[in-house]
Amino acid sequence: MEAAIRNYLVVTGGYWAFTITDGAIRMLVVLYFHMLGYSPFEVAMLFLFYEFFGIVTNLVGGWLGARIGLNLTMHIGIGMQVVALAALTVPDAWLTVPYVMAAQALSGIAKDLNKMSAKASVKTMASGSSDTKLFKWVAILTGSKNALKGGSFFVGAALLEWLGFRGALVVLSIGLLLVMIVTIILLPSGVGKMKSKPKFTQVFSKVPAINWLSAARFFLFGSRDIWFVVGLPVFLYEVLGWTSTEVGAFLALWVIGYGFVQASAPKLIHKSHHGLGPGGGTVRLWAFILALFPAGIALGLQQGWPTDSVLIIGLILFGIVFAINSTVHSYLILVYSDHDKVAMNVGFYYMANAGGRLAGTVISGWAYQTQGLEGCLWWSTGFVLAAALLSSSLPELSRKEHV
């Protein structure tokens, strides 16, 4: 057990370091290319491949992790991020839209390889432990990552002001390279590697619970990005007159708070039945609760209630309940997976997650342009209800699923 805890801490530390660079590079690219005179649409296009390749990477990455080991796919992801950071240190004349899109695509592949590897590794490290301990480990890993992601927005902005664009990238790439060397030394080889070489077609799960959970995950994360990516920031800036700094600070604090709630989810829902964690019923309950908030915010805006108060209070409550939903999902994908197939199942599941984010991003821009923020919120409500209905086939946990 001591070795498992040590390995868990090493994986978590590596995941934290990667998360800081991932959020920082996003903030660096947005701010710096805005300073260079790129239009908002061009800046948005820089991240198109970042999101798209998340779908592909999760599908292929899980299969690759099962063949060569999760520790190796994690290190490949970290190495690719180092290259992506270094690629942006070239002179400004080289920083064309296609070039930066390619660098961001590499960063997106790296991010999803790292995330899939870290989360799937927890299943193998918690072998023999109770379901509640697995739930706590998943909650801490996921929640701390999102809290750091919010903080990394500040890191990126601060480094840009302090060291400039290229100086910030050099510091981030060197720091991440050192972390990669440390994790290579400390982690055992072959984590999550299947005894037999799986065929690529095996990434498509034959377990109904995993397929239903993945479908629900698609709509759950789509429901967030429908208002979070375009609608809310533009509304706060253009309609409410917030400054860009205020908008960025609010979104960063929202993500940080969201991460802390994720880490605290096991205590918040108090779900433990003799060592078993939350099951399908918990997912459905919290999904239906979540649907109340975007619908409530939309109704409040339509009724002419104070806009600032409705949005801030509503989004804080949405974030709390969404964080609980997300953590239970991340836990169940590990519980529903067999030990030797966990990498492929987690990859398939996060492919659905990335697909939901991409769909939410596209709908966010279209819905806000045609229907305003209220339209975004009603679309969000519909996506949450779809996630709740798709969760109706998820089973409760039994002793045979006990980790």
Q: Give strand pairing partners of 273.
A: 276
Residue 357 lies in a domain: yes
pLDDT given for residue 177 in this prediction: 95
Cα 236 to its chain centre, rounded Å, is 23
Name 389's Cβ contacts closer than 8 Å, sequence gap at least 6.
none
Angle made by CA atoms 189, 192, 197, in degrees to the nearest 5: 100
Q: Give strand pairing partners of 276.
A: 273
pTM above 0.95, yes or no: no
Residue-wise pLDDT tens digits, 234-284: 788 778 888 766 776 787 788 888 888 887 877 777 654 445 567 788 889
- Percent of the chain whose pLDDT exceeds 90: 26
Band of residue 293 on the pLDDT scale cut at 50, 70, 90: very high
Residue 402 lies in a domain: no
Angle made by CA atoms 126, 349, 62, in degrees to the nearest 5: 70
Run of H or E including 343: helix 342-390
Residue-wise pLDDT tens digits, 372-381: 899 999 999 9
Residue-wise pLDDT tens digits, 170-206: 999 999 999 999 988 887 776 555 555 555 555 555 6
Q: Please enumerate, as own/partner, the contacts of 358-363 that have beta carbons within 8 Å and a separation of 24 or more.
A: 358/51, 358/52, 358/54, 358/55, 359/218, 359/222, 359/225, 360/221, 360/222, 360/223, 360/224, 360/225, 360/226, 360/228, 360/229, 361/51, 361/225, 361/229, 361/230, 363/222, 363/226
Residue 403 lies in a domain: no
Backbone angles phi, psi at 273, to 5 degrees: -120, 90
Residue 16 reports pLDDT greater than 70: yes
Distance (Å) of CA 109 to CA 98, 196, 215 = 16, 25, 22
pLDDT given for residue 191 in this prediction: 58
Q: What CATH number does residue 325 fall under?
A: 1.20.1250.20
d(CA 1, CA 129): 9
Residue 344 reports pLDDT greater than 80: no
Residue 129 lies in a domain: yes
Residue 99 lies in a domain: yes
DSSP one-letter code for 244 = H
Residue 233 reports pLDDT greater than 90: no
d(CA 5, CA 97): 44
Distance (Å) of CA 172 to CA 22, 33, 151, 156, 201 = 10, 18, 14, 9, 37
Residue 134: half-sphere exposure toward Cβ, Cα within 13 Å: 30
- The boundaries of the domain holding residue 66 are 2-190+198-396
Q: Work out how many domains the chain is built from and give that number.
A: 1
pLDDT given for residue 273 in this prediction: 46
- Percent of the chain whose pLDDT exceeds 70: 82
Q: Please enumerate, as own/partner, the contacts of 137-141 that have beta carbons within 8 Å and a separation of 24 or more.
A: 137/8, 138/327, 138/330, 138/331, 138/334, 139/262, 139/263, 139/264, 139/265, 139/266, 139/327, 139/330, 139/331, 140/12, 140/263, 141/11, 141/12, 141/15
